[in-house]
Amino acid sequence: MLVTLSPQPARPSWLRARAPVGDNYRELKSLVERLQLHTVCESAACPNVGECWNQRTATFMILGNVCTRRCGFCAVSKGAPLEVDYDEPRRVAEAVAALGLRFAVITSVNRDDRRDGGAGLFALTIRAIRERVPGCGVEVLVPDFQGNRAALETVLEAAPDVLNHNTETVPRLYRQVRLGARYQRSLDLLAHSKEVAPAIPVKSGLMLGLGETAGEVLEVLRD
């Protein structure tokens, strides 16, 4: 029996990521390598790295490049992380200064091996950027710190301009997508941030296309 397969539709041109090239891309890559820094752009194998870096846009990733969790959507390496590098905040600030940034975004791997989840290094990085580049805005995209409110408060005391924590997906898909995380824990983090530091804007985000329904997405937005 012969089965005729329908031809696959052509991918739209905007879906095809170009190979990373360009002067700004090469400059940023050289800087990151020289300062021994990590970016989520490279560690998570983002296909848009060339486009963003050529616009001098990058997200620095602190606390190493090995994550203690195994989220189903993420390409960052998993396993036993290395010791915390306490010189990293200085080098991140140096990179921010070298790039002439007016706004810096800092994220991290999960560090469930640390009592504070790495919150202390977030605070040091915020302060290092402020000292090296006065007037530069700082957004931090933080993990859930395993629900440790004191850790979150450590970050907030450093007064980032934006506190970001992603819910990533709808509650039903957490076991497949965010193993080790808890939906309510993420909501509690966002709520506690507004309680403790109401002047600091709070952000969150989630991915689409993982099997969620429109109703589930709306429910997350309402939460």
Least Cα distance to 38 among 54, 56, 58, 52 occurs for 58
The pLDDT of residue 193 is 98
- CATH among 1.20.1260.10, 3.40.640.10, 3.40.30.10, 3.20.20.70 for 20-222: 3.20.20.70
Question: How would residue 21 be classed by pLDDT, with cut points 50, 70 and 90?
Answer: low
User: Per-residue pLDDT for 17 more than 70?
Assistant: no
For the chain, the average pLDDT equals 89
Confidence check: pLDDT of 1 > 60: no
Residue 8: pLDDT above 70? Answer: yes
Residue 54's pLDDT band, with cuts at 50, 70 and 90, is confident
pLDDT band (50, 70, 90) for residue 6: low
For residues 39 and 156, give the distance between their C-alpha atoms in angstroms, rounded to a whole number.
22
Domain boundaries, the chain: 20-222
pTM of the predicted structure, to 2 decimals: 0.86
Mean pLDDT along residues 181-199? 96
Whether the predicted pLDDT of 203 surpasses 60: yes
CB atoms within 10 A of CB 3: 4
Residue 20 pLDDT: 65
Above 60 in pLDDT, residue 192?
yes
Specify the pLDDT at position 126. Answer: 98
The 10 Å Cβ neighbour count of residue 100 is: 9
Please state the rounded mean pLDDT for residues 16-23: 68
**Alpha-carbon gap, residue 101 to 79, rounded angstroms:** 32
| Neighbour tally for 18: CB within 10 Å | 11
Cβ 64 vs Cβ 81: under 8 Å: yes
| Cα distance between residue 124 and residue 119, in whole Å | 9
Share of the chain above pLDDT 90, in %: 59
Q: What is the pLDDT of residue 2?
A: 58
**Residue 92 banded pLDDT, cuts 50, 70, 90:** very high
For residue range 93-129, list pLDDT tens digits in order: 999 999 888 899 999 988 989 999 999 999 999 999 9
The mean pLDDT value for 179-203 works out to 96
